[in-house]
Structure 1
Amino acid sequence: MVLGVAAMIGYLLSVVAANVVSVHWSPLAGGGLLIPAGTLFAGVSLTARDLVHEVCGPRGVAAGIVAGTGVSAVLASSQIAVASVVAFVLSEALDAVIYTRVRHRTRLGAVAVSNVVGLVVDSAVFVPLAFGDVAAVPGQILGKTAATACTLLALHAAGRMVRP
């Protein structure tokens, strides 16, 4: 129960951070890429959703997606909110389906595969709706991929610490 609450809070905090930062911080530019400021937090939310799935099951994930959608609608500007809600529902639902199908083989692999699909779908839908063009799609994909890599390393390290 406590672990489920902690997982859900972590998930929703990552959604809140992605929305607040996207609204209040300017995009980052570097290496020819434009990276929306909330990208890393949005990438973390993909792995956090998988953790909610592990601890709370499919119903917990559905509740988290509904709560995350509501948070997005309340915290973001109207344009960011609409883009976030549409992209969030599509990418998180697809991420959940893929994670469910792959997790029996390897949980880290399921996180990796579901996150990659989720981050591409989220980026391809969110960026044009939020910003009116696709210029930031490559940067958003790169940022979310970096966040996924960091969360995978953390999960791997945590798994090694648990095992003798």
Structure 2
Amino acid sequence: MKVRAGLAVAGYVASVIVANMMTASMGVWPVGFGLVATAGTAFAGASFVLRDVVQETAGRRVALVALAIACAVSALMATPALALASALAFGMAELLDMGVYTKLRKRGWVRAAAASNLIGAVVDTFVFLWVAGFPVTVLAVGGQLVGKGWATAVVVAPVLVARVVRYVWSRRVVSDNAVRG
């Protein structure tokens, strides 16, 4: 469990840092469908799921410490405006993410992660774009949300599929045993 928690923390911190580095060096780029997003959007989206994993494996306190470390390291690698925007956006979004995730966790990991990531992504998008000085347009907001949505889906979808397969398999085994019994 400690190895899993360590990997989750490392992945979470790295996702925040890489998101800021990519945005600082590449700015905005097209993501398809006429939408644009900051270059680090996918990594920012991944950070929400990874934060949930950190909370799950290491606890809320460790998740908050990891967020502080990621923001501090990012501040050293980005422009002052980008560092401030990132710290405010990640801080606000991750705290809301944590609140929603914690409240919904008893109803299942996938539900908690999907709902908390949606809230986090929306808050992160608006705060980051506005504070960093990027345009807050339908195309920019849409692009950010699409990118963050894909990042969440890449992690949440396999977990959901595995749970459905496990459920179907367990029902099949129970059914087979009932026929034999």
Q: Do both proteins adopt the same fold according to a TM-score greater than 0.5, normalized to the shorter chain?
A: yes
The match for 1:142 is: 146
The alpha-carbon deviation at position 159 of structure 1 amounts to 5.3
The alpha-carbon deviation at position 36 of structure 1 amounts to 1.0
1:95 pairs with one of 91, 94, 97: 97
Go from structure 1 to structure 2 and tell me whether the alpha carbon gap of 1:40 and 1:90 turns closer, same or farther (over 3 Å shift).
same
Mark the structure with the bigger radius of gyration: 2
The match for 2:23 is: 22
**Matching residue's letter, 2:12:** Y
Name the SS of the counterpart of 2:106 in structure 1: coil
The alpha-carbon deviation at position 34 of structure 1 amounts to 1.4
The match for 1:154 is: 158
CA distance in 2, matches of 1:34, 1:128: 15
Alpha-carbon RMSD across the aligned residues, in angstroms, is 1.8
Name the SS of the counterpart of 2:36 in structure 1: strand
The alpha-carbon deviation at position 47 of structure 1 amounts to 0.1
CA distance in 2, matches of 1:125, 1:73: 17
TM-score by length of structure 1 reads 0.92
Where do residues 2-151 of structure 1 align in structure 2 (5 Å cutoff)? 2-29=3-30, 30-135=32-137, 136-151=140-155
CA distance in 1, matches of 2:87, 2:21: 14
**Matching residue's letter, 1:149:** A
Which runs of 5 or more residues in structure 1 are unaligned? none
**Matching residue's letter, 2:125:** S
CA distance in 2, matches of 1:160, 1:63: 34
Name the SS of the counterpart of 1:103 in structure 2: helix
**Matching residue's letter, 1:28:** W
CA distance in 2, matches of 1:11, 1:42: 9
**Which moved further from structure 2: 53-62 or 114-123?**
53-62
The alpha-carbon deviation at position 148 of structure 1 amounts to 1.0
Name the SS of the counterpart of 1:104 in structure 2: helix
Identity %: 38
Instruction: Work out whether residues 4 and 52 of structure 1, in 8 Å CA contact, stay in contact via their aligned partners in 2.
Output: yes
Instruction: Work out whether residues 14 and 70 of structure 2, in 8 Å CA contact, stay in contact via their aligned partners in 1.
Output: no
CA distance in 1, matches of 2:78, 2:166: 38
